[in-house]
Amino acid sequence: MSKIHVTTTVNGDEVEFLCEPDETLLDVLRDELHLTGSKEGCASGDCGACSVMVNDRLVCSCLVLGAEADGAKVETIEGMADGENLHPLQKKFLEHAALQCGVCTPGFLVAAKALLEKNPDPTETEARYWLAGNLCRCTGYDKIIRAVLDTAAEMRGN
């Protein structure tokens, strides 16, 4: 079976790649484009470690085909900081010690950014339900939720 030619935008840069028809966007990001910040924890959409934005929508990149990215706008963890200036969420995750092993962290940051873009003033419950698709086995979620709520407050100017 021949490969599919795909043209897409990843973190603002136009990129082209060839992928198998059954190759996921996560595989393409990691293996073709060498953007390994998105992680595979389950390949079934249960853990959220591969969270990315496709056309401003939060998705598990393991559930999207690489071919579906044609013509789309893809944003990953690698595009979250502006050069050496970290996004406020990245800073707050560090300040709050909201990571231990760090493997779920990229997915949480992408998902939390999507939350704050949609809802700049989430309650704790709203943050917990929005992030319920991202699994963390180390932290017990306490410091992650605090970091997200603290970022929201800071970004609102409180």
Helix (H) or strand (E) holding 146: helix 142-155
DSSP character string of 87-125:
-HHHHHHHHTT--SS-SSHHHHHHHHHHHHHH-SS--HH
Does residue number 33 form part of the binding site for another protein (CB under 8 A)? no
Angle at the Cα of 95 from the Cα atoms of 99 and 116, rounded to 5 degrees? 80
The smaller minimum CB distance to another protein, of residues 69 and 144, is found at 144
The smaller minimum CB distance to another protein, of residues 71 and 117, is found at 117
- What are the tokens at 103? 């493997």
Taking contact as CB under 8 A, which single stretch among the options 2-10, 38-46, 65-73, 114-122 is the one that binds another protein? 38-46
Does residue number 151 form part of the binding site for another protein (CB under 8 A)? no
Instruction: Report the residue from 53, 90, 115, 116 that binds another protein according to the rule CB under 8 A.
Output: 90
The number of C-alpha atoms within 13 Å of 28 and in the hemisphere containing its C-beta is 31
The smaller minimum CB distance to another protein, of residues 71 and 113, is found at 113
Please tell me what DSSP assigns to residue 24: B
Residues at the contact surface with another protein, assessed by CB under 8 A? 20, 30-31, 35-44, 46-47, 49, 76-78, 80-81, 86, 90, 93-97, 99-106, 109, 124-125, 127-129, 131-146
